[in-house]
A = this chain, B = another copy of it.
Amino acid sequence: MAVLQWDQEVYMPAMGATLRAQQLATLSGMAHDLGVEKELGSLLEELSKSDSLNKIEKINVTETLRVYNDRKKYNTAFVIELSKTVSESFNAWQEAKRKKDFNLFLPFLSKLVDLKKKECDLLGYEEHPYDALLNQFEPGLKTKKVSAIFTQLHNQLIPVTKKIADASQPNTDFLHLHFDKNKQWDFSLILLKQLNYDFNKGRQDISTHPFTTGFNANDVRVTTRINENDLFEMIGSSIHECGHALYEQGLPVNDYGLPSGEFLSLAIHESQSRLWENKVGRSLSFWKCNFQTLKNTFPDQLKNISVQQFYAAINTVKPSFIRTNADELTYHLHIMIRFELERDLFEGKIDVADLKNEWNKKYNNYLGLKVEDDSQGILQDVHWSHGMFGYFPTYSLGSMYAAQFFEAAKNEIKNLEAEIESGSNLPLLNWLREKIHRHGKTFSADELCINITGSELNIDFFMNYIKEKYANLYSFNL
């Protein structure tokens, strides 16, 4: 299914869409049927009582049984209704977005949310219905914990963004000159090689929305998107996807198909992409090493630009409407808004019909922006139309983990920043391989974080990094 989906995004001819959707639906159905087979359950139950398993084998059995039991909670009628509603909602969302009219999407979203509420009940939860949805992407994560993190984050981020808004802004015009597609492509390959992406175990292609897909640790593919009028769009997204891919290329290939061969969770996955994108790809050290190559590629456009100016430009902070274009600071305000709306929706505090008003109010309060058209507002993301509620928080948690992991890496790798500045990114990759990648899904995210950093997830690491970096960049004190 992953190969079929990759092909669909990257190379499939237009007319292939209808039957491809049918093929994927057939395969989904078969996968579900195989995944709930009685014999599988009995074998897993039996194995889970065995005394002769080693630690990893025990985890593999337990985790597989957990997934099996969750899958058993769904009845076929529900699966079919959900999948049908998702298809209709996705189509309605596309039309609504094109026509910039949330009302066209509203009845479908409403039906979808009702079904997802039913899904919360099917799956069960201890504290909050939204926990059940969060756990589809981040096993064990609680709504209460996310609320606490976002409250802290909110209180600390808002003053920083205010300070930045009052400071003078760096020049970013040169990033929006014309940058030839083919030359950008060549540079993206240089970046991937520089970051030790293994082309024997993967490849890069072009797609509308950049993504990474791992068929197994020996075939992990990335895509990028090239905007000829925005140089950093490709650079940022290439490094981001490379971070995802380095994680999957580092999973133990011999455990293919088992939890010990899988990525841990979406937040941990995102920690890897954000670490490379932001801690490395937006650092001065990295560009001290690579800016000359970029200048050689685009000598006219970057003629009078210093590496310091480039570094300042790619780190500009500016509230904007679209999440995917946001800087690494205001990005989390976008996520926060989505989380709060989802939480309140599944708590029953607000109704689907209130979503648009609430969305626009929060964009005004948190980002100081007046949303004027739904396609730039509540209709911007595809997630809800796919029935993916509980997904957004993992993006922010990924950044928090990234900051905490990178701090540990700096403590443990000698002269890490000097290494990066000299073009040597292997020490960092090897550290991540050792600490994170090779373990697959044999720890929880909490356990992993404690193992690596000595403490649970703590947003201070992220905030300290943000404050130091931006106080410096924008010359203010905190």
Contact = CB atoms under 8 A, between A and B. Distances in A.
Interface of A: 3-4, 7, 11-16, 18-20, 23, 30, 198-203, 205, 215-216, 218-219, 221, 253, 256
Contacts of A201: 13, 15-16
A219 B3 contact: no
Nearest to A16: B219
The copy count of this chain in the complex is 2
30 contacts: A3-B3, A3-B4, A11-B203, A11-B205, A12-B219, A13-B199, A13-B200, A13-B201, A13-B203, A13-B218, A13-B219, A13-B221, A14-B200, A15-B198, A15-B201, A15-B218, A15-B219, A16-B201, A16-B215, A16-B216, A16-B218, A16-B219, A18-B218, A19-B215, A19-B218, A19-B253, A20-B215, A20-B219, A23-B215, A30-B30
Given A3-B3, A20-B215, 16 more contacts: A11-B11, A11-B203, A13-B199, A13-B203, A15-B198, A15-B200, A15-B201, A15-B218, A16-B201, A16-B215, A16-B218, A16-B219, A19-B215, A19-B219, A19-B253, A19-B256
Contacts of A19: 215-216, 218-219, 253, 256
A472 B30 CA distance: 60
Nearest to A20: B219
Contacts of A218: 13, 15-16, 18-19
A205 B7 CA distance: 13
Contacts of A219: 12-13, 15-16, 19-20
A405 to B, nearest CB: 27
A20 B221 CA distance: 14
A16 B13 CA distance: 24
Given A18-B218, A19-B215, A219-B19, A202 B13 contact: yes
A241 to B, nearest CB: 15
A246 to B, nearest CB: 15
Contacts of A221: 13
Nearest to A256: B19
A3 B7 contact: yes
Contacts of A15: 198, 200-201, 218-219
A200 to B, nearest CB: 5
A5 to B, nearest CB: 10
Query: By CB atoms of chain B within 10 A, which of A4, A199, A200, A218 has the most?
Result: A218
A200 B15 CA distance: 6
Nearest to A18: B218
A374 B205 CA distance: 40
A473 B23 CA distance: 51
Nearest to A11: B203
Contacts of A23: 215
A4 to B, nearest CB: 6
Which among A4, A202, A219, A253 has the greatest number of chain B C-beta atoms within 10 A?
A219
A182 to B, nearest CB: 12
A118 to B, nearest CB: 32
Nearest to A218: B15
A257 to B, nearest CB: 9
A373 to B, nearest CB: 32
A18 B200 CA distance: 13
